[in-house]
Structure 1
Amino acid sequence: MRTYLILLTTLTIAIVPFPTARSRFVVPTIPQRATVLGYDRTLFGPGWATDGTGCDTRERIIARDLDDDPCSRPEHPPTPRTSHALDPYTGGALARNDIEVDHIIPVSAAWDLGAHRWDAAQRAKFYNDPLNLVAVSSAANQEKSDKLPSEWMPARRRARCAYGERMVVVAKQYALPLPEPDLRAIKRACSGLLGLSAYRHL
């Protein structure tokens, strides 16, 4: 029986190999980002979508990332308070009165990479997709602005690979190509790191 289990384990590993660095970063690319005229934030919808409880996407993301759901409380919206959560970009403490929700792939970058060809429903979906959203400090969000990885990476070095991997996942989800300089920056950030499913923990 022991021999059988060892053989079965070996066969399983052979059939289902671990993802490699190459397979993790297989995504369509373009030589560089080119500005596409006509961008306007309102083309991605009226803003944060509201769910059946009256909470919007921004509140849901903050609740998710701070592990605290204000939408379930009678006093919603909550009064600003200090949280024990950390800014994934800087490693500093996050305060509820100083939080912004960042689009991992910035909205204007998405427009340049292909969202200008989407219909209104697809743009609104992208704008409110939790996969592409993370709660960060106002300062970090404003410093990043609409930059991609070749121009900006999180100050917290240990977060850079997770940030880049999550961007790749979002790009694949929406069939958006990444500029080659930005994909190279992501690969450098993940060089020597396992990084498997790291984007889940950003």
Structure 2
Amino acid sequence: MRRTLTGLIAVLIAAVVAVVATDLDEKLNLDLGAVVSEAAGAVLGEGEVTADDGVTPDGSVDVARVTTQLDGLTVKGKAPQTGYDRDEFDHWTDPDGNGCDARNDALARDLVDETVDENGCTVLTGTLATEPYTGETDRAFERGSDDLAVSLDAEHLVALQNAWISGAHAWDEDRREEFANDPANLLMVDPSENRAKGAANAAEWLPPNNAFRCRYVATQIHIKAAYDLAVTQPEKDAMIRVLDGC
């Protein structure tokens, strides 16, 4: 119930913001139902991850928009990994204040037909319609004795270690916590592919599922732009190659 009420409130707020932000001539022809539907899709993870990531509701990529974001990123070599520790990023907190941690929020967003325990937060079972990294459909999730590792991982699209060597080493702890729990940077994925990627950037690893590569790179670019993180030249070159095929 807590998650449902929070989601409903978010939908209504998003709808109002969309109406206010629309030009007057567009308001006169506005289909309020369509606005609410689009807002609901964003809350449930069925459309744009965020308003500025260059990914359209149907999953395609606005290449010109994303390329402009990419061109705005600082290009430089990787900073030293000195001092990196995953615990430097306080992850699985509750950034939106809905009473549920960010990992369970990501599960609830990405799964369908999910069940939760009596606290209304902990996701017990569900189905991932399409696992993004492999393309596998109808991937079942069931919380096991070792938590998520048996079926799905909460993946940071821009890995925490990659963020560290791209600029996060200079952040304060609040900024690192924000990054580690940002839903725009979280995705439920196959654990083996998550391990294969590790802290790699786009020049070092891309999802085996070719159909997801455009969205993967576009979202990475958006996250790096939002957090003022750098890319290496090989990383940027790899991103351009992916976008050229989108």
TM-score by length of 2: 0.64
Partner of 2:77: 32
Distance 2:113 2:81 in 1: 39
Within-5 A mapping of 1:34-183: 34-45=79-90, 47-50=91-94, 52=97, 54-68=99-113, 70=115, 74=118, 76=120, 77-80=122-125, 83-93=127-137, 94-97=139-142, 98-183=151-236
Q: Is the 8 A contact 1:27 1:168 kept in 2?
A: no
Unpaired stretches in structure 1, ≥5 consecutive residues = 1-17, 194-202
Structure with greater Cα Rg: 1
Cα drift, residue 70 of structure 1: 4.4
Cα drift, residue 30 of structure 1: 2.7
Partner of 1:8: none
Q: 1:137 to 1:57 in 2, by over 3 A?
A: same
- Give the total of aligned pairs: 173
* Counterpart residue identity of residue 142, structure 1: R
Q: Summarize deviations over 1:130-181 as a string: whole Å, max 9, x none.
A: 1111111111111111111111000010111110010000001000111111
Partner of 1:9: none
Which range moves more in the overlay, 102-111 or 26-35?
A: 26-35
Distance 1:65 1:185 in 2: 27
Cα drift, residue 84 of structure 1: 4.8
Q: Is the 8 A contact 1:32 1:181 kept in 2?
A: no
Unpaired stretches in structure 2, ≥5 consecutive residues = 1-61, 143-150
Q: Give RMSD over aligned pairs.
A: 2.3
* Counterpart residue identity of residue 236, structure 2: L
Distance 2:128 2:160 in 1: 29
Q: 1:96 to 1:167 in 2, by over 3 A?
A: same
Cα drift, residue 78 of structure 1: 4.5
